[in-house]
Amino acid sequence: MAKDRDSIKILQGSDVAPDSHQWQVAILRADIPENFYAQFCGGTHLGSGWVLTAAHCVVGLASTDIQIYAGSVALDSGGQRYKITQMVPYPRYDEQSLVGDIALIRADGLAVSSLAIADSSSGWSALRPDSKILVSGWGVTDTVENRKSNTLKEVSLPYQTNKTCNGPESYNKTIKSVMFCAGEMEGGADACTYDSGGPAVAVIGTKPILVGIVSFGDDCGQPKKFGVYTRVLPYRDWIDKLTSAKH
For 54, phi and psi rounded to 5 degrees? -90, 140
Q: Is 192:138 a contact under the CB 8 Å cutoff?
A: no
Tell me if residue 56 is catalytic: yes
DSSP summary character for residue 16: P
Catalytic residue chosen out of the listed positions 6, 21, 45, 101: 101
Q: How far apart are CA 45 and CA 68, in angstroms?
A: 10
Q: What is the 3-state secondary structure (H, E, C) of 74-104?
A: ECCCCCEEEEEEEEEECCCCCCCCCCCCCEE
Catalytic residue chosen out of the listed positions 6, 56, 136, 195: 56
Strand partners of residue 163: none
Tell me if residue 45 is catalytic: no
Tell me if residue 177 is catalytic: no
Q: Does residue 235 sit in helix, strand or coil?
A: helix
Catalytic residue chosen out of the listed positions 7, 72, 136, 196: 196
Residue positions annotated with a catalytic role: 56, 101, 196
